[in-house]
């Protein structure tokens, strides 16, 4: 009886993120990401070839022993062929998380907002839309991560994806109002780093954000505590208080 109770209450084991996926997400190489996620779909002739850095990592990740430089080219070719012939495991790849419980979308949102990172987000979102609202161990969404890292274009892009998921503005409202375990929204993160541009962007989406949460430290109160006078003025004026 005791064992059955233990089994029913035990938390499922987390799937650790594939190192090739993690590397692609950190680098912002959409080519690497698409090659990785689309394998098994176009095995005969890949439409997109990955970067040399990806190939080097693939070779190292798939090698059982050291190889010399003269064998490198052939080994990479063999590794690519073997990799492409593996059964497609896109769902399991995108289920993998970092040690902090972050998804691949959390990683991309944190590391950059150049065109490559934005396209990487689109690739991930096209295959796993639910990751947009996923929370890591701290309760942070990809939007929290992007705002904390000061990635203005990424914040804007993530919001646009939330808007595209529904014809109703309520989906965006829900997205920007999501709180982490500290009861902070993405707006709090922008206040913490003193980024008035991201503050303006988020307030344009939801003018009520300045006073959320109702039972905790609001972004406006936080801005005053941190002596972020310009941000405090932005929040006050944008919220029509």
Q: What is the pLDDT of residues 191-237, one digit of tens each?
A: 999 999 999 999 999 999 999 998 999 999 999 999 999 999 999 99
Query: Is the confidence at residue 72, as pLDDT, over 50?
Result: no
* pLDDT-based confidence at residue 51 (cuts at 50, 70, 90): confident
Same domain, 30 and 115: yes
Task: Give domain status of residue 13, yes or no.
Answer: no
User: Which whole number is the average pLDDT over 163-176?
Assistant: 77
As given in the structure block, the two tokens for residue 59 are 């070779």
Is-contact 196 232, C-beta < 8 A? Answer: no
What predicted TM-score, i.e. pTM, was given to this entire model? 0.81
Q: Residue 144: which domain range?
A: 19-176
Residue 163 CA to residue 168 CA, distance in Å, equals 8
Same domain, 58 and 125: yes
* Rama region for 183: left / alpha / beta (φ>0; ψ in -120 to 50; rest): left
Strand partners, 146: none
Query: Is the confidence at residue 60, as pLDDT, over 80?
Result: no
Count of domains for the chain: 2
From residue 199, give the alpha-carbon distance in Å to each of 32, 153, 164, 209: 33, 13, 22, 10
Residue 131 CA to residue 124 CA, distance in Å, equals 8
Domain-terminating residue out of 144, 176, 208: 176
CATH code (residue 121): 1.25.40
């Amino acid at each position: 009886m005791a064992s059955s109770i233990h089994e029913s209450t035990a938390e499922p084991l987390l799937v650790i993120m594939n190192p090739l996926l993690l590397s692609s997400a950190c680098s912002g190489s959409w080519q690497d990401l698409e090659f990785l996620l689309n394998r098994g779909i176009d095995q005969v002739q890949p439409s997109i070839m990955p970067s040399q850095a990806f190939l080097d990592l693939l070779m190292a990740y798939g090698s059982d022993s050291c190889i010399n430089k003269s064998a490198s080219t052939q080994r990479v070719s063999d590794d690519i062929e073997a990799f492409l012939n593996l059964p497609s495991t896109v769902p399991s790849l995108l289920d993998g998380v970092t040690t902090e419980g972050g998804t691949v979308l959390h990683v991309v949102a944190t590391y950059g907002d150049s065109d490559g990172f934005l396209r990487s987000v689109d690739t991930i979102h096209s295959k796993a839309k639910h990751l947009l609202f996923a929370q890591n161990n701290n309760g942070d969404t990809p939007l929290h991560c992007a705002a904390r890292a000061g990635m203005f274009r990424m914040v804007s892009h993530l919001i646009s994806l939330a808007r595209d998921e529904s014809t109703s503005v309520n989906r965006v409202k829900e997205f920007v109002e999501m709180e982490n375990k500290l009861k902070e929204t993405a707006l709090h993160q922008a206040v913490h780093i003193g980024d008035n541009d991201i503050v303006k962007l988020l307030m344009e989406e939801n003018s009520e954000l300045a006073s959320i949460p109702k039972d905790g430290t609001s972004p406006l109160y936080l801005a005053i505590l941190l002596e972020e006078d310009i941000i405090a003025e932005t929040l006050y004026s944008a919220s029509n208080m």
